[in-house]
Structure 1
Amino acid sequence: MHSVRRHPHGALVRAIVPVVVLLLSACGPESLEDDSFGASEWALAGGPESTAFRAALAKRWAPIHYQDVDVTGSHSLSGRSDYITRVNFDGDWSGTNNWENTASRPLTAAAYHSLVETSTHWYLVYTFFHPRDWSDNIFDSEHENDAEGVLLIVKRDGSEYGALVGAVTVAHKDFFSFVPDGSPLGSGAESIDGKLSLASFEGQLHPITAQEAKGHGLKAWPAYDIVGDGVKYFPSLTVSEEPSSATDSDVRYKLIDIYGSEGLWPRRGVSELFVSDGTFRGDTSGGCGLVAGQCGTNSANAPWGWDDQNDGSILRGELARDPAKLAAYYFSPASQFSTTYTFNPYAGIGGDPNTP
């Protein structure tokens, strides 16, 4: 496949690219699923403001995702409580009925993606949502809603999709950093925790991530892995499937633009969904908590609310809002990371990435 920059009729291509990008954006990211006519190249010509651009880049690097599943205990719902899905899987944007609706509504797979750009890197965040953080032990707490994920750091090296050089994952109240073989990144203020493994999907290498059952902490595989029952999810721009069983090894999850019409960022002020900035509203109804007092409220966070409990100068939410700062802190050499954003919808008044 040839880049549009090498097309023999370059002037004509430059003239029609905006029109094609506009058409692709109007059609939505679904038009990018079939790349037989170079649709992704046209999309990438549109820049990060384009929905099509963000969808193409997100699909290129989207993780192959391993979800460990536990089928024991009444709150597991025979494994359903470990399936990933969208926040509005039950048809509404209320955060306080998701625990109970897990038992009766389809849990079709999805992940939310966001993009932030500097002159040197693209920063892609993928968020995996579960309606329940659950347990089968009476001594453990549970809570409604659970969202954890991964930041992928992609170096803009002049190639179409850049080069994946690192990842930072969210496991409860801690972040963990990983690099693939050949990465130029070394340990910074935080030590690198392991290798980012890749596997081929649809002819391209994708990172492999994995989540625990029950609490759903996320790390690069095989730091976490499927133990017994589990689901293997693969990315799509159009298809959202529900696992056929707790051991389904081929399920498509749909990528949803967090900034878009189905996304979470435009709904950050919806009081039925968020109790405060970046924190999902959740209550104790529906049977949450195996014993009285063992169900937490308002216990899950969106990406702009994620926080590591002990990583020094990195503030709550900066993994999404200011990922260049986080990357320069977690990895070395820090000088390779531009911290001036050319695209950052999370940035607030005055371009401050920490102001929603």
Structure 2
Amino acid sequence: MPFIRRTVVPLAVMLLSACGPSSSLEETTGETREALATGAGSAAFRAALAKRWAPIHYQDVDVTGSHSLSGRADYISRVNFDGDWSGTNNWDNAASKPLAAHAYQSVVETSSHWYIVYTFFHPRDWSDTIFDTEHENDGEGVLLIVERDGTEYGKLIGAVTVAHKDFFSFLPDGSPITSGAESSDGKLSFATFEGVQHPITAQEAKGHGLKAWPAYDIVGDGVKYYPSLTTAEEPSSASDSDVRYKLIDLYGSEGLWTRRGLSELFSSDGTFRGDTSGGCGLIAGLCSSNSANAPWGWDDGDDGSIQRGEIATDPAKLSAYYFSPSSRFSTTYTFNPFKGVGDPNAP
């Protein structure tokens, strides 16, 4: 897959809460505009909706340690960045293959809300100390809850992020919902990009836990990623502040959902296959196999009745549990391929 190395000087923009570039690299096509009325069953609408709310994403980068690849081990990429769908050579190939930035998006729809999950993938979950375990592949992300308020793309009212084996919830100012069974972990902040407000998310270096900025932040080196429907760029350095990541429809031909039964990629339902080859583990025994998950495998072990994967597969249930009032959330899906409702790949 072709990639673009950064050679341009970042442009300054006006922010609400942080700094980043402002440029209109893309325009919504007439075909996409026509698709807006068809709902989430249209791939064009899902792409437009996902682009509208896609996070401005801060990735902390550590350039030290033999497994950091001088910072490249913290760059986001796509699962098949190396040209194949094997999960057991990604650790190895991260050292030599381009890491053009991508993120997977999946949209689920009810009459009251759109639920958009963004998945950020890294070939390595790594460490620079002999006391921490490493593993091949790393998938973490965020669920954004968008209320269908009659406007074109709705109103973003909440977020739940994935940091390792825990979920964290965040609310923007003025949200119509509050904490429910799970308490809010902070504020969801926004910044202006291409003339509209986008939420800001951030991931740690090495282990790549994800929270709303500034619950995590760039410390020293770091990359700032901005969403695109057409452009995937590889950072020019570990401190590149203007990099585009390309959104991939999780349900589409380049996505992961249609490959959920591929044994080379998944060891079990929702769990990526990964082994201990390529030098993973700074000392023997500290590299674990099959340790990363796709969205339908994400789990918080202590959030009551919410089951593994339901942050993606049943986000209305999760939202009604995490936030109040629960009556605000319809739990009847009009589009949810995870449950076979409106599956775009069905015969």
**Normalized against structure 2, the TM-score is what?**
0.90
Between the aligned partners of 2:207 and 2:306, the Cα distance in structure 1 is 24
Matched, 1:214 2:206: yes
Matched residue type, 2:331: T
| Cα RMSD for the two superposed structures | 1.4
Structure 2: which 5+ runs fail to align? 1-23, 343-347
Between the aligned partners of 1:259 and 1:189, the Cα distance in structure 2 is 31
Which residue in 2 is equivalent to 1:130? 122
Between the aligned partners of 1:251 and 1:36, the Cα distance in structure 2 is 20
Residue 36 of structure 1, CA deviation = 6.3
Matched, 1:94 2:86: yes
Between the aligned partners of 2:39 and 2:121, the Cα distance in structure 1 is 28
Which residue in 1 is equivalent to 2:73? 81
Aligned residue among 320, 323, 328 for 2:320: 328
Which residue in 1 is equivalent to 2:222? 230
Between the aligned partners of 2:230 and 2:25, the Cα distance in structure 1 is 7
Which residue in 2 is equivalent to 1:178? 170
Equivalent runs, 1:179-194 vs 2, <5 Å: 179-194=171-186
Aligned residue among 269, 276, 283 for 2:268: 276
Q: Which of the pair has the greater relative contact order for Cα pairs under 8 Å at 6+ separation?
A: 2
Residue 50 of structure 1, CA deviation = 1.1
Between the aligned partners of 2:29 and 2:280, the Cα distance in structure 1 is 50
Structure with max Cα Rg: 1
User: Could you tell me the percent identity over the aligned residues?
Assistant: 80
Between the aligned partners of 1:326 and 1:33, the Cα distance in structure 2 is 35
Matched, 1:295 2:290: no
Task: Give CA deviations for 1:130-188 in whole Å, capped at 9, x if unaligned.
Answer: 00000000010000000000000000000000000000000000000001111011010
Residue 38 of structure 1, CA deviation = 5.5
Q: How many residues matched?
A: 319
Equivalent runs, 1:103-118 vs 2, <5 Å: 103-118=95-110
Task: Give CA deviations for 1:266-298 in whole Å, capped at 9, x if unaligned.
Answer: 000000000000000000000000000000000
Structure 1: which 5+ runs fail to align? 1-31, 352-356
Which residue in 2 is equivalent to 1:18? none
Q: Is the 8 A contact 1:33 1:237 kept in 2?
A: no
Residue 119 of structure 1, CA deviation = 0.3
Equivalent runs, 1:1-356 vs 2, <5 Å: 34-35=26-27, 40-348=32-340
Residue 34 of structure 1, CA deviation = 3.9
Between the aligned partners of 1:228 and 1:160, the Cα distance in structure 2 is 38
**Normalized against structure 1, the TM-score is what?**
0.88
Moved over 6 A (4+): none
Between the aligned partners of 2:31 and 2:100, the Cα distance in structure 1 is 26
Q: Is the 8 A contact 1:176 1:192 kept in 2?
A: yes
Task: Give CA deviations for 1:193-249 in whole Å, capped at 9, x if unaligned.
Answer: 000000000000000000000000000000000000000000000000000000000
Residue 49 of structure 1, CA deviation = 1.3
